[in-house]
Amino acid sequence: MAEIIEKTAESIRDMTIRGAGRIARAGASAMGDFAAGYNGTSLDDFRRDIKKNAAILTASRPTAVSLWNGVRATMRGLSFVSTLQEAKDLVVSNSEEFVEISSRAVATIAKIGANRIKSGDVIMTHCNSSAAIGVIKEAHRQGKDIKVYATESRPWRQGILTVNELAEAGIDTTLIIDSAVRTVMKGVDKVFVGADTITSHGALINKIGTSQLALAAHEARVQFYVCSETYKFSSATIFGDMVTIEERSIEEVVKKGEVPDSVKIFNPVFDSTPAAYIDAIITDVGMIHPGSVYDVMVRQLGDSLFEE
Ligand code: RI2
């Protein structure tokens, strides 16, 4: 059964499964499948294997706290069970519950976010966020006449996925290259982006280039909204931990032999947008100011926040 964990981790690592929400659900499901098919005989072994699996899965995309929180959610209460069967059942039900809650969160964000959009709005989005796209599609579904600019999002070009999805929904969509953001921003009313991680100070960690959208939006006085499920809030940042920004292979940027070997290539795939550039974070518990992230974390996690 360990193959399901390795296979899922590899699919997340090589981006076959991508998007902060999707990888969290994939990680949680893999933990559930592992538990359901576990054929060991000892509770201690199960606890040890589950911990090992969690470490393998979470290492596959280090920036996305969603994955960490999704995997960790499946282990909730594991230290309080007394039999192996109870432990297996608990991981399976935790996993199902996480998948259900996180999917529902995207739908809730869509409804809340769509209220910010009015007919005639020109919107910009970046990369391929199911939470941000959900908001845009919901506004369109409500009959609002909107136009969307979507960035290409080099090097993986997730913007191609975004424009396909928006066009398929019948939305007036324009694809732009990443460096066109500032030029286009003058004609934009609102920006909606997703999140990989939100820190306790309300900073956003999201696809590289997000902070450029935020800066350009700030300069042009365009509202900048982040669409984020609350499980993307990183409790570790309360205690001063920094978010690790993932760097990926240089082959994502240039083909082999395209530039001399002496040329160094730096490929960070996320960046940090300070809270000061964010007007609001649209979450499954409502729209909040970035300054309220800490309060929401404490309210949701209660005392468990301070246990580890
Ligand atoms: P949802 C993506 O990361 C993008 O950074 C996107 O904004 C974020 O996940 C959130 O996606 P990548 O996996 O959870 O393409 O909103 O690196 O779908």
Same domain? For 197 and 258 the reply is yes
Whose C-alpha lies nearest to ligand 1, atom 15? 19
CB 215 within 8 A of CB 277: yes
Which one of 127, 178, 227, 284 is the catalytic residue? 127
Q: Is the predicted pLDDT of residue 264 greater than 90, yes or no?
A: yes
- CA 187 – ligand 1 centroid, Å: 25
User: Lowest-pLDDT range, 59-63, 174-178, 216-220?
Assistant: 59-63
Q: Is the predicted pLDDT of residue 14 greater than 80, yes or no?
A: yes
Same domain? For 136 and 273 the reply is yes
- Per-residue pLDDT of 33-70, as tens digits, reads 999 999 999 999 999 999 999 999 999 998 889 999 99
Total domains in the fold of the chain: 2
Q: Return the CATH number at 9.
A: 1.20.120.420
Question: What are the start-end ranges of the H helices in the chain?
Answer: 2-13, 20-36, 43-58, 65-73, 84-114, 130-141, 158-168, 181-185, 210-219, 293-301
212 lines ligand 1 (CB under 6 A): no
**Domain span at 234:** 115-306
Last-in-domain residue among 81, 107, 133 = 107
* Residue range 4-20: mean pLDDT, rounded: 96
- Per-residue pLDDT of 192-213, as tens digits, reads 999 999 999 999 999 999 999 9
Q: How far apart are CA 236 and CA 287, in angstroms?
A: 22
The percentage of the chain sitting over the pLDDT mark of 90, rounded to a whole number, equals 92
Same domain? For 121 and 90 the reply is no
Closest ligand 1 atom to the C-alpha of 126?
7
pTM: 0.94
- CA 35 – ligand 1 centroid, Å: 27
- CA 107 – ligand 1 centroid, Å: 16
Q: Return the CATH number at 140.
A: 3.40.50.10470
Whose C-alpha lies nearest to ligand 1, atom 13? 19
